[in-house]
Structure 1
Amino acid sequence: METAVRAMKDHVRAGWTAAVLVCGKCSKKLEGGFGAKGRMSLAKALRGEPGFGKGRKAVFGVVETRCLGICPRNAVTIVDSRTPGRWRIVPEGADVEELANELR
């Protein structure tokens, strides 16, 4: 009996122009620290800004990673894929809207 083999896609289009990598370990240590009430993780707060998201249709993708190895106190490490040689340290309680504007 012959079985038809369907060709699997080897790529999927995304609308991302850049990706922002957010250290998950830093975020977990802060237990929030961002957003209007200071209870949101940085990744979640960034995804709420216009143009940012985790889906394929976002302009800027926000991805929470494993530990990036910097481990600053009371801050979160992020990496902008357009400037991989310059990692940023975002202090707890920083204005997420201002950060999003700088990343755009």
Structure 2
Amino acid sequence: MIRPLRSGWNDVVLVCGKCSKKVGGGFGPKRRHPLAKALRRALGLKGRRAAGGVVETKCLGVCPKGAVMVVDGARPDAWLIVPMGTPLAAVTAQLSIGGGSDQA
């Protein structure tokens, strides 16, 4: 039997795990953390009771060189290619979860 479980999330961001592994970190204050972990810290998201979530997925199939693929759950039609070393403020400004732009 399938049972629903409430997460409490309003938004979700999907980060390609394969891209993150290939880049080998490259984000955060000292550029040592994977993008998903750095985003969680920057946005203050922890656990399923947070306002939103950052989920690291399997390969999204785009595989850019020296960058990580990100999908904003509020805008699944516009995927983001985030180059290694991009400041987290610039990344969160592009995401609806971080209070960023609401562009279509």
The TM tier, using the shorter chain, reads 0.7 to 0.9
RMSD: 1.6
Q: Does 1:35 align with 2:23?
A: no
Number of equivalences: 96
Partner of residue 13, structure 2: 20
SS of 1:56 mapped into structure 2: coil
Partner of residue 92, structure 1: 84
Residue 49 of structure 1, aligned match among 35, 42, 46: 42
Distance in 2, Cα, partners of 1:23 & 1:98:
18
Please say which structure displays the higher CA radius of gyration.
1
Distance in 1, Cα, partners of 2:93 & 2:87:
10
**Deviation, structure 1 residue 97:** 2.6
**Deviation, structure 1 residue 9:** 7.9
CA-to-partner distance for each residue in 1:57-103, whole Å, 9 max, x for gaps? 11121000000011111100000111111110001001113322331
Task: List runs of 5+ in structure 2 lacking aligned partners.
Answer: 100-104
Q: Which amino acid aligns with 1:50?
A: L
Distance in 1, Cα, partners of 2:69 & 2:6:
28
Partner of residue 58, structure 1: 50
SS of 1:73 mapped into structure 2: coil
CA-to-partner distance for each residue in 1:5-37, whole Å, 9 max, x for gaps? xxx882222221111000000000011000111
4+ residue runs over 2 A deviation: 50-53
**Deviation, structure 1 residue 52:** 2.9
Task: List runs of 5+ in structure 1 lacking aligned partners.
Answer: 1-7
